[in-house]
Copies of this chain bind each other. A is one copy, B any other.
């Protein structure tokens, strides 16, 4: 299949390479030329570099995937006279894997519908490790038939390809899940720090929580207390993993969506503020489980 790919950052590059590994041809664009070269040099015969999103959109591809940092980039790549919608045949399907606010995804879907084009929102979770291993989770919003049509392609980059309902619902699922993740990570950090400071052994405490009603992914799979689990960021100085600043971004998307929906999210919002405080102290590059440092003497 001839696939366009816009956005070759830490996540996009390994995703693109997994498509190439499966034999597909890619036409790629990124504003950082070095990123383009890095992907191209591995499969020189099946990668074409494009000069702009507009040029890429005009290349009559079967599918264009986009993986961009934030809503502003997505709007600029899709909309306006130089954007994908203005320059693309309706035969080209579109999948946006950026994590952005649901409303923007729904705005794009409206434009697509008006032009009789197909677009899916398909944000991912699993981090750079998951992108490299091809084990991402894709949360997909849009028409269910189109989801079924592209499930195999997404499976080249991910392990779980989950249908979430109409346009924007992929974003909703992502943002809501990550808000709960931020809350439970912070709760786990508070709970572990408190228990240990009250005299418990951290592994014993984690063991009890993990077989009790406090159990959560943050306690049993990604425990923030150093030494409780091996092979997680807390046991290697909070390097690798999912950056605190990325969690901050997702919490920002969640509270923004909550404001628009007139929904209270007091814990989600407090988690956002505490991650913002942590980021201001210069810790945003650490894995998000490092938030436990706010609850421990340094």
List residues of A whose CB falls within 8 A of some B CB: 102, 125, 137, 139, 160, 162, 164-166, 168-169, 172-173, 176-181, 183-184, 186-188, 190-195, 197-201, 204-205, 207-209, 211-219, 221-222, 252, 254-259, 261-274, 276-277, 279-282, 294-298
Q: Knowing that A102-B199, A125-B212 touch, tell me 19 more A-B residue pairs with CB under 8 angstroms.
A: A102-B198, A139-B208, A162-B207, A168-B199, A169-B200, A172-B199, A173-B208, A177-B214, A179-B191, A180-B209, A181-B213, A187-B187, A194-B257, A212-B217, A259-B276, A264-B276, A264-B295, A265-B295, A270-B273
A180 to B252, Cβ gap below 8 A? no
Known: A164-B200, A183-B184. A212 touches B137 (CB 8 A): yes
Given the complex of chains A and B, what is the CA–CA distance between A276 and B192 in angstroms? 17
B164 to A208, Cβ gap below 8 A? yes
Known: A180-B209, A213-B125. A256 touches B257 (CB 8 A): no
Given the complex of chains A and B, what is the CA–CA distance between A274 and B213 in angstroms? 20
A138 → B minimal CB distance (Å): 11
Given the complex of chains A and B, what is the CA–CA distance between A172 and B208 in angstroms? 11
CB within 8 A of A180: which of B173, B179, B180, B219? B219
Majority SS at the chain A contact face: helix
B252 to A259, Cβ gap below 8 A? yes
Given the complex of chains A and B, what is the CA–CA distance between A191 and B279 in angstroms? 19
A281 → B minimal CB distance (Å): 7
CB within 8 A of A201: which of B165, B179, B187, B265? B165
A177 to B209, Cβ gap below 8 A? yes
B268 to A270, Cβ gap below 8 A? no
Known: A199-B172, A201-B165, A204-B165. A294 touches B194 (CB 8 A): no
Known: A266-B190, A281-B298. A178 touches B216 (CB 8 A): no
Q: Which residues of B contact A180 (CB under 8 A)?
A: 184, 187-188, 190-191, 209, 214, 216, 219
